[in-house]
Amino acid sequence: MRIRRGGPADAAAVIGLFDEAVEWLVARGQTGQWGTEPLSRNAGMVARVERWAAGEGLWMAEVDGTVAGALVVGERPEHVHAVEEPELYVELLLSSRALAGRGIGAALIAHAVSLARDAGLSLLRVDCWAGAPTLVAFYERQGFARDGTFDMNGWQGQVFSMRL
């Protein structure tokens, strides 16, 4: 697996990962995270991905030259409580369901930990949909601790922190 800096040319691949994830979630009856429609049909999400791809925080995981995952690091979103210290925030962690079980998500989290440490930061945070126990457990296995929740128009989120 190779992790490289992403850029504008990667926006379509990130959207493809989102669409793959939505299809996988819908097939399992888990529509509460991102709904039932491909996110490529959501102009707001496409624009958000394009902003991420144009910025400095996008990182792409590849397996044998194929896009396997995406990581976006940056600043805390508005819906998450502020902290009194500098931090790095995982804005997006997404891995290919077709390549599940290869440790892609864990490798991207390890990369985020390295980025935070290299920047001299001692706090890494992330949030996810609280309605997916396996996703919550994944973050806990990576070394994150639960650090509050939020409600965004009925969408329940779980915030995690990792001390470095």
Tell me what pLDDT residue 29 has: 85
Mean of pLDDT over the chain: 95
Query: Is the predicted pLDDT of residue 5 greater than 90, yes or no?
Result: yes
Structure confidence at residue 130 as a pLDDT band (50, 70, 90): very high
What is the C-alpha radius of gyration for the chain, rounded to an integer number of angstroms? 15
Which tokens is 50 given?
């394009």
Tell me what pLDDT residue 91 has: 97
Tell me what pLDDT residue 32 has: 83
d(CA 88, CA 112) in angstroms, rounded, equals 8
DSSP secondary structure letter of residue 88: E
Tell me what pLDDT residue 31 has: 84
Q: What integer is the mean pLDDT of 21-50?
A: 92
Q: Scanning the structure block, which residue is given the tokens 């804005």?
A: 91
β-pair type (88-95, 123-129): parallel
Task: Please give the domain boundaries of the chain with CATH numbers for all domains.
Answer: 2-163 (3.40.630.30)
Provide the 3-class DSSP secondary structure of residue 82: coil
